[in-house]
């Protein structure tokens, strides 16, 4: 427990100033974090089968270009189709020149999905921060509160399993408690610090959606870990696991926020 608290404090000391400062330091921080997360997802895959270092290197380059693409784009949440095409070429073309024992269609699909999902999610972390730091805090707050209260209520009153095949410890009671407080605190923050004139009903609906999607994201990443038989994605944060163990819910919430905000 002590190790877990210390690693959390160290992470906050590093992350909070980067979010506040923004600009180049924040971009570098997100890029580094994203590369660690990318390594973790590929490392989990390699518990089942090794992927060619040559292909991993090229895919990592295309991945990083997607992550930092907001720095050259004037449009919010617009993914450069040229980077997507580059990633597809990098991941699929080796199928025709490499032995199937070294690299096959499943490897290519894992790389494509990992690159696009993580790349776009982390790039939107940059986009949202550039839009307004308060939007980023809003999404992060909902994610953290949903996760925190889900664990609290799950451990205290949880009786009905939510998705035992994927995550045996998660309960319906925990999810409901997490969604309620994530929605409530997110709504209060938005109405207080972002837009006091915004429709209360609309803010509640958006906050609740982000909270639910965050819970869903956690289950998705748990399903991936269960598929490959690992407990954590990494051990960069003692007591917490890897980067993806900490930002799994946030990445889904970021994507959901990016989708919803496109309608307004």
Chain segment 29-55, per-residue pLDDT in tens:
999 999 999 999 999 988 888 888 888
In percent, the amount of the chain with pLDDT more than 70 equals 96
Query: How far apart are the C-alpha atoms of 199 and 206, rounded to whole Å?
Result: 11
Structure tokens at 50: 């090794």
pLDDT above 70 (res 224): yes
Query: How far apart are the C-alpha atoms of 26 and 23, rounded to whole Å?
Result: 5
pLDDT above 70 (res 15): yes
Q: What is the pLDDT of residue 143?
A: 96
Q: pLDDT tens for residues 182-202?
A: 999 999 999 999 999 999 999
Instruction: For residue 257, give every residue at least 6 positions away whose Cβ sits within 8 Å of its Cβ, in sequence order, or none.
Output: 124, 128, 135, 139, 206, 210
pLDDT above 70 (res 241): yes
Q: What is the pLDDT of residue 4?
A: 64
Q: What is the pLDDT of residue 31?
A: 95
- pTM for this entry: 0.91
Query: How far apart are the C-alpha atoms of 223 and 219, rounded to whole Å?
Result: 6
Closest among 236, 247, 246, 169 to 3, alpha carbons compared: 236
Average pLDDT score over residue span 122-143: 96
């Amino acid at each position: 427990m002590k190790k877990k608290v210390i690693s959390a404090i160290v992470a906050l000391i590093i992350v909070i100033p980067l979010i506040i400062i923004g600009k180049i330091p924040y971009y570098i921080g997100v890029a580094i974090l994203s590369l660690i997360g990318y390594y973790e997802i590929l490392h989990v895959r390699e518990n089942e089968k090794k992927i060619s270092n040559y292909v991993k290197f090229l895919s990592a380059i295309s991945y990083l270009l997607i992550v930092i693409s907001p720095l050259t784009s004037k449009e919010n949440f617009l993914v450069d189709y040229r980077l997507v095409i580059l990633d597809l070429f990098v991941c699929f073309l080796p199928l025709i020149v490499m032995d199937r024992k070294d690299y096959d269609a499943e490897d290519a699909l894992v790389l494509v999905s990992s690159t696009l999902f993580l790349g776009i999610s982390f790039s939107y972390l940059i986009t949202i921060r550039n839009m307004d730091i308060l939007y980023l805090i809003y999404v992060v707050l909902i994610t953290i509160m949903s996760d925190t209260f889900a664990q609290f209520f799950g451990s205290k009153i949880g009786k009905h399993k939510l998705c035992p095949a994927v995550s045996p410890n998660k309960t319906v009671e925990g999810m409901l408690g997490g969604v309620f407080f994530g929605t409530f605190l997110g709504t209060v923050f938005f109405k207080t610090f972002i837009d006091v004139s915004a429709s209360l009903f609309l803010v509640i609906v958006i906050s609740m959606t982000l909270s639910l999607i965050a819970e869903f994201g956690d289950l998705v990443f748990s399903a991936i870990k269960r598929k490959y038989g690992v407990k954590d994605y990494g051990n960069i944060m003692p007591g917490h696991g890897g980067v993806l163990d900490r930002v799994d819910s946030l990445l889904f919430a970021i994507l959901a926020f990016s989708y919803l905000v496109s309608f307004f």
